[in-house]
Amino acid sequence: MSPDSGSTARVAGRETAAVLRRHRRAVGSLLAWSVPEAAPAMLTGFVVARAVDDGFLADRPWTGTAWLALLVAAAVLGAWGARNTHRAVAGVVEPFRDDLTRRVVAAGVTTAARHAGTPATDGAVARLTNQVEGVRDSFAGLILVSRGFVVTVLAALLGTASLAPSLLLLVAPPLLGSIVMFSVALRRGVRRQRDFLYAGEQLADRTAAVTAAARDVAACRATERAARYADEAITAQARAERALARLAAVRSLTVAVGGWLPLLAVLAGANWVTGRGLSTGALIGVLTYLAQVVVPTLDMFVQTVGSAGLRFVITLDRLVRRIGQRATVAADPGPSARRPAGSRLELRGVTFRYGAAARPVLHDFDLTVYGYDHLAVVGPSGVGKSTLAGLLCGTIRPDDGEVLLGGVPIEELEPAARARHRVLIPQEAYIFPGSVADNLRYLNPGAGEQDLLAAVDVLGAGALLERLGGLGGEVRPRELSAGERQLLTLVRAYVAPAPVAVLDEATCHLDPAAEERVERAFAARGALVVIAHRISSAMRSRRVLLLDGDRAMLGDHRSLQAASARYREMTGYWTAASEPAGAPGPVDGVDPAVRADLRRDAGQPVAHRTG
Amino acid sequence: MVPAGPRRSTLVLLAVTAGLCAVAELALPLAIGRTVDEVSRRGAGPWLAASVLLIAVLVVADPIRDLAAGLAPAYRTAELRRRLVRHSLNLGGRAGSPGDVVSRVMTGAADAGHGGVALVLAVIGMVPVLGAVAALAYLDGRLVVGYLAGAVVITALLRRHVRDTSGTVLRYQRAQADIAERLSEAIAGSRTIAAAATVPTEIRRCLRPLPALSAEGVRTWHVLARSAGQGALTGPLLQLSVVAIGGWLLSAGRLTPGELLAAIQYGAMGAGIGGLVAGFGRVARARAGARRVAEILDRPAPRHGPRTLPPGPGTLTFESVTARVAGEPVLRDVSLTVPGGRPVAVVGRSGSGKSVLASLAARLTDPDEGRVCLDGVPLTEVSAESLRREIGVAFERPVLVGATVGAAVALGQERPQPYTVDAALRAARADTFVSRLPQGMGTPLAETPLSGGEAQRLGLARAWHARRLLVLDDATSSLDTATEAEILHLLTGESQRTHLIVAHRAGTAARCASVVWLEAGRVRAIAPHRQLWHDPDYRAVFGGDAA
pLDDT value of residue B333: 92
Mean pLDDT across A297-323: 89
Q: Which fold has domain B316-546?
A: Rossmann fold (3.40.50)
Cα of B157 vs its chain's centroid, Å: 36
State the nearest Cα–Cα gap between A387 and chain B, in angstroms.
Answer: 12
Which residues in chain B are closer than 8 Å to A114, comparing Cβ atoms? Answer: 194
pLDDT value of residue A609: 41
Check B221 against A89: CB less than 8 A apart: yes
By the CB < 8 Å criterion, does A309 face chain B? no
Say how many Å lie between the first and final Cα of chain B, rounded.
53
| SS3 at position B317 | strand
By the CB < 8 Å criterion, does B444 face chain A? no
Check B547 against A534: CB less than 8 A apart: yes
pLDDT value of residue B209: 94
What would the pLDDT profile of B386-412 be if each residue is shown by its tens digit? 998 999 999 888 888 888 999 999 988
State the nearest Cα–Cα gap between B304 and chain A, in angstroms.
Answer: 10
Confidence of residue B253 (pLDDT cuts 50, 70, 90): confident
* pLDDT above 80: residue A595: no
Nearest CB among B2, B203, B528 relative to A600 is that of B528
Select the CATH number that applies to the domain covering A22-323 from these four: 1.10.1740.10, 3.40.50.1110, 1.20.1560.10, 3.40.50.620.
1.20.1560.10
- What sections of A468-556 are H helices per DSSP? 482-494, 512-525, 536-539
Residues of chain A above pLDDT 70, percent: 87
pLDDT value of residue A588: 29
Q: Rounded to an integer, what distance in angstroms lies between the CA atom of residue A108 and that of residue A126?
A: 12
Check A430 against B176: CB less than 8 A apart: no
pLDDT value of residue B456: 87
Check B32 against A126: CB less than 8 A apart: no
Strand B328-338 with B316-325, pairing: antiparallel
The full set of domain ranges for chain A reads: 22-323, 345-427+499-592
Closest chain A residue to B53 measured between Cα atoms? Answer: A264
Mutate to test the interface with A, among B41, B192, B333, B336 (most CBs of A within 10 A): B192
b/e A146-182 (16+ beta carbons within 10 angstroms → b): bbbbebbbebbbebbebbbeebbebbeebbeebbeeb
More confident site: B170 or B422: B422
Indicate the range of A84-88, A177-181, A487-491, B141-145 predicted with least confidence: B141-145
Closest chain B residue to A489 measured between Cα atoms? Answer: B192
Q: Rounded to an integer, what distance in angstroms lies between the CA atom of residue B86 and that of residue A227?
A: 6
pTM of the model: 0.79
Asked if ipTM goes beyond 0.90, one says no
Nearest CB among B199, B486, B528 relative to A113 is that of B199
Nearest to A318 by CA among A4, A6, A8: A8
pLDDT value of residue B218: 92
Which residues in chain B are closer than 8 Å to A535, comparing Cβ atoms? Answer: 481
What would the pLDDT profile of B9-39 be if each residue is shown by its tens digit? 899 999 999 999 999 999 999 998 998 888 7
Q: Which fold has domain B4-297?
A: ABC transporter transmembrane region fold (1.20.1560)
- What sections of A23-60 are H helices per DSSP? 24-37, 39-50
Mean pLDDT across B492-502: 82
Which residues in chain A are closer than 8 Å to B58, comparing Cβ atoms? Answer: 256, 260
Q: Rounded to an integer, what distance in angstroms lies between the CA atom of residue A243 and that of residue A498?
A: 60
pLDDT value of residue A589: 27
Which residues in chain B are closer than 8 Å to A86, comparing Cβ atoms? Answer: 221, 224-225, 228-229
pLDDT value of residue B546: 38
Mean pLDDT across B231-237: 77
A 411-430 residues inside an 8 A Cβ radius of B: 414-416, 418-419, 422-426, 428-430
Q: Rounded to an integer, what distance in angstroms lies between the CA atom of residue B289 and that of residue B295?
A: 10
Nearest to B375 by CA among B297, B292, B424, B315: B315
Give the single-character DSSP code of A411.
G
Q: Rounded to an integer, what distance in angstroms lies between the CA atom of residue A132 and that of residue A315?
A: 8
Mean pLDDT across B145-168: 68
Give the single-character DSSP code of A388.
H
A544 φ, ψ to 5°? -130, 130
Confidence of residue A334 (pLDDT cuts 50, 70, 90): low
By the CB < 8 Å criterion, does B294 face chain A? no
Q: What is the mean pLDDT of chain A?
A: 84
pLDDT value of residue B134: 92
By the CB < 8 Å criterion, does A328 face chain B? no
Nearest CB among B62, B185, B480 relative to A430 is that of B185
- What sections of A305-448 are H helices per DSSP? 310-323, 385-393, 415-419, 436-440
What would the pLDDT profile of A25-65 be if each residue is shown by its tens digit? 999 999 999 999 999 999 999 998 999 889 888 888 889 88
Torsion of Cα atoms, B494 then B500 then B504 then B509, to 10°? 40
Cβ atoms of residues A302 and B276 within 8 Å? no
Identity of the residue numbered A302? V
| SS3 at position A610 | coil
pLDDT value of residue A118: 53
Q: Rounded to an integer, what distance in angstroms lies between the CA atom of residue B425 and that of residue B459?
A: 10
How many cross-chain Cβ pairs, A to B, lie less than 8 Å apart? 584
pLDDT value of residue B243: 82
Indicate the range of A133-137, B269-273, B433-437, B512-516 predicted with least confidence: B269-273
Which residues in chain A are closer than 8 Å to B196, comparing Cβ atoms? Answer: 419, 423-424, 442-443
By the CB < 8 Å criterion, does B3 face chain A? no
Cβ atoms of residues A358 and B436 within 8 Å? yes
Check B186 against A112: CB less than 8 A apart: yes
Please give the sequence-ordered ranges of beta strands (E in DSSP) within A340-421, or none if there are none.
345-352, 362-369, 374-378, 400-405, 408-409
Q: Rounded to an integer, what distance in angstroms lies between the CA atom of residue A197 and that of residue A142?
A: 19
* pLDDT above 60: residue A585: no
Closest chain B residue to A51 measured between Cα atoms? Answer: B247
Mean pLDDT across B165-178: 84
* Residue B504 exposure: Cα atoms within 13 Å on the Cβ side: 16
Q: Count the Cβ atoms, other than its own, within 10 Å of residue B278.
A: 11
Confidence of residue B265 (pLDDT cuts 50, 70, 90): confident
State the nearest Cα–Cα gap between B44 and chain A, in angstroms.
Answer: 8
Greatest mean pLDDT among A349-358, A477-486, B59-68, B324-333 lies in B59-68
Confidence of residue A5 (pLDDT cuts 50, 70, 90): low
Nearest CB among A208, A218, A608 relative to B336 is that of A608
Starting at the edge strand that comes first in sequence, how are the strands of the sheet with B391-395 ordered?
B391-395, B469-473, B498-502, B343-347, B514-519, B522-527
DSSP-based helix, strand, coil % in chain A, nearest 5? 65, 10, 25
Helices (H) and strands (E) in chain B, counts: 21, 10
* pLDDT above 70: residue A3: no
* pLDDT above 70: residue A276: no
Q: Rounded to an integer, what distance in angstroms lies between the CA atom of residue A434 and that of residue B476?
A: 39
Which residues in chain B are closer than 8 Å to A416, comparing Cβ atoms? Answer: 197
Q: What is the CA radius of gyration of chain B?
A: 35
Residues contacting residue B438 through CB under 8 Å, at least 6 positions apart: A354, A355, A356, A357, A358, B447
State the nearest Cα–Cα gap between A28 and chain B, in angstroms.
Answer: 17
Nearest to B537 by CA among B515, B519, B510: B519
Residues of chain B above pLDDT 90, percent: 42
Nearest CB among B198, B232, B401 relative to A82 is that of B232
pLDDT value of residue A69: 87
State the nearest Cα–Cα gap between A232 and chain B, in angstroms.
Answer: 10
Nearest CB among A101, A429, A576 relative to B507 is that of A576
Q: What is the mean pLDDT of chain B?
A: 86
Q: Rounded to an integer, what distance in angstroms lies between the CA atom of residue A98 and that of residue A104?
A: 10
By the CB < 8 Å criterion, does A69 face chain B? no
Confidence of residue A362 (pLDDT cuts 50, 70, 90): confident
Q: Rounded to an integer, what distance in angstroms lies between the CA atom of residue A275 and that of residue A260?
A: 23
Confidence of residue A274 (pLDDT cuts 50, 70, 90): low
The full set of domain ranges for chain B reads: 4-297, 316-546
Which residues in chain A are closer than 8 Å to B396, comparing Cβ atoms? Answer: none
pLDDT value of residue A601: 33
pLDDT value of residue A551: 74
pLDDT value of residue A172: 92
Check A603 against B98: CB less than 8 A apart: no
Cβ atoms of residues A233 and A157 within 8 Å? no
By the CB < 8 Å criterion, does B81 face chain A? yes
Nearest to B401 by CA among B391, B387, B412: B412
Q: Count the Cβ atoms, other than its own, within 10 Å of residue B211.
A: 11
The angle formed by the CA atoms of residues B117, B123 and B126, to the nearest 5 degrees, is: 130
More confident site: B164 or A221: A221
State the nearest Cα–Cα gap between A231 and chain B, in angstroms.
Answer: 6
pLDDT value of residue B303: 85
Q: What is the 3-state secondary structure (H, E, C) of B335-380?
A: EEEECCCCEEEEECCCCCCHHHHHHHHCCCCCCCEEEEEECCEEHH
Q: What is the CA radius of gyration of chain A?
A: 37
Mean pLDDT across B62-81: 93
Closest chain A residue to B499 measured between Cα atoms? Answer: A605
Nearest CB among B191, B400, B482 relative to A117 is that of B191
Q: Rounded to an integer, what distance in angstroms lies between the CA atom of residue B279 and that of residue B257?
A: 34
pLDDT value of residue A569: 72
Torsion sign across C-alpha atoms A308, A311, A312, A313: positive
Check A116 against B191: CB less than 8 A apart: yes
By the CB < 8 Å criterion, does A523 face chain B? no
Check A248 against B71: CB less than 8 A apart: no
What would the pLDDT profile of A236-261 be if each residue is shown by its tens digit? 999 999 998 888 888 888 998 899 88
By the CB < 8 Å criterion, does B536 face chain A? no
Strand A527-531 with A374-378, pairing: parallel
Give the single-character DSSP code of A238.
H
Closest chain B residue to A566 measured between Cα atoms? Answer: B482
Torsion sign across C-alpha atoms A593, A596, A597, A601: negative
Cβ atoms of residues A424 and A478 within 8 Å? no
Identity of the residue numbered A340? P
Q: How far is CA A274 from CA A270, B230, B509, in A?
A: 6, 38, 102
By the CB < 8 Å criterion, does A73 face chain B? no
Nearest to B248 by CA among B154, B146, B324: B146
What would the pLDDT profile of A141-189 be if each residue is shown by its tens digit? 999 999 999 999 999 999 999 998 888 988 999 999 999 999 998 888 8
Q: Rounded to an integer, what distance in angstroms lies between the CA atom of residue A250 and that of residue A256?
A: 10
Q: Which fold has domain A345-427+499-592?
A: Rossmann fold (3.40.50)
Nearest CB among A213, A227, A256 relative to B59 is that of A256
pLDDT value of residue A580: 37
Check B221 against A86: CB less than 8 A apart: yes
A349 φ, ψ to 5°? 55, 40
Indicate the range of A185-194, A473-482, A515-524, B234-243 predicted with least confidence: B234-243
Nearest to A114 by CA among A304, A395, A434, A351: A395
